[in-house]
């Protein structure tokens, strides 16, 4: 029998707003447990939520880019459940009238385009966090309660883990460039629940299970493979798949059952009585559309046409929002877009590799690098000094001008010093000199290197070359 895997995704992404969705508490990640709370995000009696407008703007940005239909009138609903991470005992979400419907995200599968259809995108609030101490105790941290989320629900259009990963990468890129989420999986700001079923190729959809607790791309890919195999095993031995929610344990590489699949009735959903319907006008949508941040492919095209970067450089730089931000800042500071691109694709990439720095962890000072770009393009430092100083800025955040003067890296244009060094080397390396004079061009490079070394590597190579030529002829 030939089996096919069918996958649908529910992606939760935390929005990068300053404050929470219905109150003024900070929505930042972390903080001392239970210090970012108020009566509203804990639903104390008598408190009333007020919707953060920014949440709507962010949802609209995403909806425009993904081609969703933006609802002119959407609503909030209450999803009721008791769990210790939810002091309100209900979550404000959208069930009946989500803000966005439809739309699609195109992925590129080895040159083949595939459109993944979206079912809907709705707004909801996050729950708190449970910390299991390992001493049989569980601690509750409610700081995350009320952080705004978008839940992006796809149709069951994926047929492999690879497709899922391509989709998540593309989605992450869009969210980052739109500036609406930081998408840090390790901090929970991008989370995916994976629905999986298997069927005979071309046959009816099978019963699905939903897998939770997937904290990395690697885990998602392993979990999909494991679950598809598990289901095929059951079906081939004549069994039936139970519709249930599974929890993935990445340490042992297995899933276990959390609960049998709930349905909407279990949650006693009802319209949220404390919030008004959300009304969105055509004008507001146009305003958001007009101010949409530039996406990766738009930056790529602009870098090529405006800054004359190569295709390769433009792709490397737009590979991550943080890299393109860094590039644009260095470039703006130094007014040297080509040299700045060369810095990113060269030294910065090399140093990131060497120090195992991921783009999302990149925190190097763009102004300082910009200063170095200016110094090298103005001929104040040579390439060797430049490289050394870039590394010092990258790894130790030194002040570039201080560093250069302390280490004597300013280019020496002192012609008396250059002349002196040239004559010393010509005397020391008499055989190379006569080699050169008898026509061995290669000897010139050697002599040049010796003079540079003598001058501590900081001489202006052009000046050395000129002087050496003159003295040799």
**Tokens representing residue 124 in the block:** 């909801």
User: Quick one: what does residue 274 bind among ligand ADP, Zn ion, none, with the CB cut-off 5 to 8 Å set by partner type?
Assistant: none
Among 9, 15, 21, 25, binds Zn ion (CB under 5 A): 25
How would you label 63-92 residue by residue, b for 16+ Cβ within 10 Å and e otherwise? bbbbebebbeebbbbbbeeeeeebbbebbb
Among 15, 16, 21, 23, binds Zn ion (CB under 5 A): 23
Cβ 22 to Zn ion, closest distance in Å? 7
CA angle 429, 431, 434 (to 5 degrees): 115
Interhelix angle for 415-428 vs 442-454, to 10°? Answer: 120
Interhelix angle for 415-428 vs 430-437, to 10°? Answer: 90
Strand order in 77-80's β-sheet? 90-93, 77-80, 270-271
Among 57, 155, 360, 365, binds ligand ADP (CB under 6 A): 155
User: Quick one: what does residue 23 bind among ligand ADP, Zn ion, none, with the CB cut-off 5 to 8 Å set by partner type?
Assistant: Zn ion
Compare residues 208 and 380 and give the one whose CB is closer to ligand ADP. 208
User: Quick one: what does residue 195 bind among ligand ADP, Zn ion, none, with the CB cut-off 5 to 8 Å set by partner type?
Assistant: ligand ADP
User: Quick one: what does residue 334 bind among ligand ADP, Zn ion, none, with the CB cut-off 5 to 8 Å set by partner type?
Assistant: none
The neighbouring-strand residues paired with 117 are: 104
Ranges within 184-213 binding ligand ADP (CB under 6 A)? 195-197, 205-206, 208
* Sequence-separated (6 or more) residues with CB below 8 Å from residue 272: 75, 76, 77, 78, 92
Cβ 1 to Zn ion, closest distance in Å? 54
Q: In sequence order, what DSSP letters do the residues of 57-119 get, joined into one string? A: HHHHHHHHHHTPEEPSEE--EEEE---TT-TTSEEEE-SSS-SEE--EEEEEETTEEEEEEEE
Ranges within 2-61 binding ligand ADP (CB under 6 A)? 6-10
First to last CA, the chain: 84
User: Quick one: what does residue 38 bind among ligand ADP, Zn ion, none, with the CB cut-off 5 to 8 Å set by partner type?
Assistant: Zn ion
CA angle 395, 398, 401 (to 5 degrees): 135
Q: Is 153 in the site for ligand ADP (CB under 6 A)?
A: yes
Site track for Zn ion across 28-67, x = CB under 5 A? ----------x-xx--------------------------
Cβ 144 to Zn ion, closest distance in Å? 11
Among candidate residues 259, 186, 256, the one with its CA nearest the CA of residue 227: 256
Among candidate residues 228, 150, 173, 233, the one with its CA nearest the CA of residue 195: 228
Instruction: Determine the interface stretch with ligand ADP among 152-160, 227-235, 372-380, 459-467 (rule: CB under 6 A).
Output: 152-160
Distance between CA atoms of 288 and 391, rounded to whole angstroms?
Answer: 41
Compare residues 111 and 202 and give the one whose CB is closer to ligand ADP. 202
The neighbouring-strand residues paired with 109 are: 112
For 126-215, where are the E strands, in sequence order?
Answer: 129-132, 138-141, 148-154, 190-200, 209-212
* Contact assessment for residue 165 and residue 195, using Cβ atoms and an 8 Å cutoff: no
* Contact assessment for residue 15 and residue 55, using Cβ atoms and an 8 Å cutoff: yes
Q: Is 156 in the site for ligand ADP (CB under 6 A)?
A: yes
* Contact assessment for residue 89 and residue 111, using Cβ atoms and an 8 Å cutoff: no
Task: Name residue, tokens 């791309």.
Answer: 217
Compare residues 258 and 276 and give the one whose CB is closer to ligand ADP. 258
Cβ 132 to Zn ion, closest distance in Å? 25
Compare residues 8 and 370 and give the one whose CB is closer to ligand ADP. 8
Compare residues 236 and 266 and give the one whose CB is closer to ligand ADP. 266
Cβ 103 to ligand ADP, closest distance in Å? 14
Site track for Zn ion across 402-441, x = CB under 5 A? ----------------------------------------
Compare residues 195 and 374 and give the one whose CB is closer to ligand ADP. 195
Cβ 129 to Zn ion, closest distance in Å? 15
Instruction: Determine the interface stretch with ligand ADP among 102-110, 147-155, 231-239, 358-366 (rule: CB under 6 A).
Output: 147-155
Task: Name residue, tokens 């598809």.
Answer: 228
Distance between CA atoms of 430 and 432, rounded to whole angstroms?
Answer: 6
Cβ 101 to ligand ADP, closest distance in Å? 12
Cβ 9 to ligand ADP, closest distance in Å? 6
Compare residues 39 and 271 and give the one whose CB is closer to ligand ADP. 271
Give residues in contact with Zn ion (CB under 5 A): 23, 25, 38, 40-41
Give residues in contact with ligand ADP (CB under 6 A): 6-10, 153-156, 195-197, 205-206, 208
């Amino acid at each position: 029998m030939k089996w096919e895997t069918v996958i649908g995704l529910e992606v939760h992404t935390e929005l990068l707003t300053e404050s929470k969705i219905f109150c003024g508490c900070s929505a930042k990640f972390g903080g001392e447990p239970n210090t970012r709370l108020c009566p509203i995000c804990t639903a104390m009696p008598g408190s009333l939520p007020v919707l953060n407008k920014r949440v709507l703007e962010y949802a609209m940005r995403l909806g425009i880019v993904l081609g969703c239909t933006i609802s002119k009138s959407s609503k909030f609903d209450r999803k009721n459940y008791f769990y210790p991470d939810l002091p309100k005992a209900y979550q404000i979400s959208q069930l009946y009238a989500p803000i966005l419907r439809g739309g699609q995200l195109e992925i590129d599968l080895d040159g083949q385009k595939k459109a993944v259809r979206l079912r809907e995108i709705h707004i909801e609030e996050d729950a708190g966090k449970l910390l299991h101490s390992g001493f049989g105790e569980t601690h509750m941290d409610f700081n995350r309660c009320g952080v705004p989320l978008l839940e992006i629900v796809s149709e069951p259009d994926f047929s492999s883990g690879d497709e899922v990963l391509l989709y998540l990468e593309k989605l992450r890129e869009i969210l980052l460039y739109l500036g609406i989420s930081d998408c840090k999986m390790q901090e929970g700001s991008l989370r995916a629940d994976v629905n999986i079923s298997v069927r005979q190729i071309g046959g009816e959809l099978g019963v699905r299970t939903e897998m939770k607790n997937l904290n990395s791309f690697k885990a998602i890919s392993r979990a999909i493979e494991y679950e598809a195999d598990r289901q095929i095993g059951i079906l081939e031995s004549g069994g039936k798949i139970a519709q249930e929610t599974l929890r993935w344990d990445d340490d042992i590489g297995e899933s276990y059952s959390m609960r049998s699949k709930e349905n909407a009735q279990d949650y006693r959903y009802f319209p949220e009585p404390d919030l008004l319907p959300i009304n969105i006008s055509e004008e507001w949508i146009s305003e958001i559309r007009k101010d949409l941040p530039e996406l990766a492919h738009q930056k790529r095209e602009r870098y090529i046409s405006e800054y004359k970067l190569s295709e390769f450089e433009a792709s490397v730089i737009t590979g991550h929002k943080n890299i393109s931000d860094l590039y644009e800042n260095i470039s703006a500071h130094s007014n040297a877009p080509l040299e700045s691109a060369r810095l990113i694709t060269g030294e910065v990439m090399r140093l990131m590799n060497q120090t195992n720095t991921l783009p999302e962890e990149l925190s190097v000072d763009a102004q300082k690098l910009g200063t170095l770009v200016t110094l090298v393009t103005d001929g104040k430092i040579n390439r060797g000094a430049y490289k050394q100083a870039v590394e010092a800025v990258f790894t130790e955040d030194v002040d570039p001008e201080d560093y250069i003067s302390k280490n004597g890296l300013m280019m020496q244009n002192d012609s008396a010093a250059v002349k002196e060094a040239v004559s010393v080397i010509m005397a020391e390396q008499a055989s190379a000199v006569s080699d050169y004079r008898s026509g061995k061009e290669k000897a010139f490079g050697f002599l040049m290197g010796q003079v540079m070394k003598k001058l501590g590597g900081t001489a202006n190579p052009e000046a050395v070359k000129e002087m050496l030529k003159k003295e040799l002829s």
